[in-house]
Structure 1
């Protein structure tokens, strides 16, 4: 059993391609689903989408069971009015958030605090400069335009994932306005500015951004009303219900693939 408190956030990383390559393992995930999840699974038109959904539900359920004496299939979920999921009748006050892109899924787990996580695949095709000019804060657009062209693409996705993580932690979504929280990345630090109408106490919010290999940008937002000290992050690799030799492992094996020009150093 893993212990976790309000001063820590655990981030679980799942290689979806690795799971999909194991059909027998995917079959073991079906009994974990609730009736509602099983119904939703059947609505996906394409096998790959079904497989990703099945694997991410297994990720959430098995990881949560590492913190409490609850069987993976027994967790119950509900949604806030804005759609953000939360636990029902959990024996401990866990908060979690899930994101996936390409062949990676990430799950953030903490205790007592609100948390949001977002991952984006850097090769994703989109009019990133047009999006920034139309939706981002003017100071962020200025920072983008001041960079060499070769760096602008990655910087956009750092900003985008930070915004998504923040809005997911708030539970409001992008309807709040992507320009209401402006992020500045400088010398390994993430600074945030908030519009007055958000009524935010900046010292209660903590942000992190990492590159996951060369393919993904990963951001985390954590709201810690009881502490102004940034939480300690611990990264794990997950392969739900695999054998002991190939199950969840602390990701010192991934640390060489995680660069952090926009956040503090990786936790030991």
Structure 2
């Protein structure tokens, strides 16, 4: 499908990580064999939980959409990236994000990136901004802590989402500081930004397709 296609479909699902051992075992047994093996190779409890919940979310969302069993999907795991799904019925792009207990998964017929962040009011926003904001963005930092927090996480989510939407070769030569938030909100360039809050979480979705709030409704999957 051509880039910047306003008719492209964007779907967005989310879930919460499970902590019940019986639910974990039930989810694991429904996943493709490759993901079961990957889960068993992980040692850190939190990483195991995030991995299980995220892969179960992906398989549940795709199975719900395309009417296939959960273990049908062929996921290739990549380092520091969302997995590649080799047997999607129609060509598409995916993006995955997790923050604290929230996991989000997006599917689109155009390039897409999604990011979620749970705000931490205690962080030094001015110092942390130096890691990913350009000088103009840093100079625009608000005066009050509450407004700093909102500004910080809006820019962080938007830039992370845009970075994830870029092709791998372009990611390799891109820094977050080189990405300009104002270009996203003014529509400069090919990318479109959708921002929202999901409970306390900041959410940003960036796509080559135009994103209309009334057409992008996050769908909760309880993943039982």
With the length of structure 1 as denominator, give the TM-score of the two structures: 0.70
Query: If each structure's helix is expressed as a fraction of its own residues, which one has the higher value?
Result: 2
1:184 aligns with 2:182: yes
Is it true that 1:164 corresponds to 2:141 in the alignment? no
> Which one scores higher on RCO, CA 8 angstroms, separation ≥ 6?
2
Deviations 1:40-96 (Å, cap 9, x if unpaired)? 322333334322221111100110112224322111123679845332132212322
**2:140 alignment partner, SS class:** helix
2:9 is the counterpart of 1:8: yes
Report the 3-state secondary structure (helix = DSSP H, G, I; strand = E; otherwise coil) of the residue aligned with 1:64: helix
Other structure's SS at 2:181 match: strand
Q: Deviations over 1:23-47 (max 9, x none)?
A: 3322221123344423332233333
| TM-score normalised by the chain length of structure 2 | 0.82
Which of 103, 118, 122 is the matching residue for 2:119? Answer: 122
Q: Give the Å deviation of 1:6.
A: 4.8
Q: CA deviation at 1:105?
A: 0.7
Kindly indicate whether residue 191 of structure 2 is the aligned counterpart of residue 205 of structure 1.
yes
Aligned length in residues: 215
Decide which structure has greater strand share. 1
- What is the aligned partner in structure 2 of residue 220 from structure 1? 205
1:131 corresponds to which of 128, 131, 135: 128
Q: Residues 125, 72 of structure 1: CA spacing in aligned structure 2 closer, same or farther, 3 A cutoff?
A: farther
- Partners of 1:40 and 1:6 lie apart in 2 by 37
Hey, what does 2:3 align to over in structure 1? none
**What SS does structure 2 have at the residue aligned with 1:220?**
strand
Q: Which residue of 2 aligns with 1:153?
A: 149
**Kindly tell me: are residues 89 and 48 of structure 1, through their superposed partners in 2, closer, same or farther at Cα, counting changes over 3 Å?**
closer
Q: CA RMSD in A?
A: 2.8
Unpaired segments of 5 or more residues in structure 1?
194-201, 243-268
Q: Match for residue 39 of structure 2?
A: 41
Q: Which runs of 5+ in 2 are unaligned?
A: 1-5
Provide the C-alpha distance between the structure 2 equivalents of 1:220 and 1:48, rounded to a whole number of angstroms.
25
Deviation digits for residues 210-237 of structure 1 (CA, Å, limit 9, x no counterpart): 1222x3111111113xxxx435212211
Partner SS for 2:68: coil
Please report how far the alpha carbon of residue 209 of structure 1 lies from its aligned counterpart in structure 2 after TM superposition: 1.4
Aligned 1:19-98 pairs, distance under 5 A? 19-21=18-20, 23-78=21-76, 83-98=81-96
Task: Give the equivalent residue in structure 1 for 2:106.
Answer: 108
Question: C-alpha distance in 2, partners of 1:109/1:208?
Answer: 14
Q: State the distance in 2 between where 1:79 and 1:33 align.
A: 14
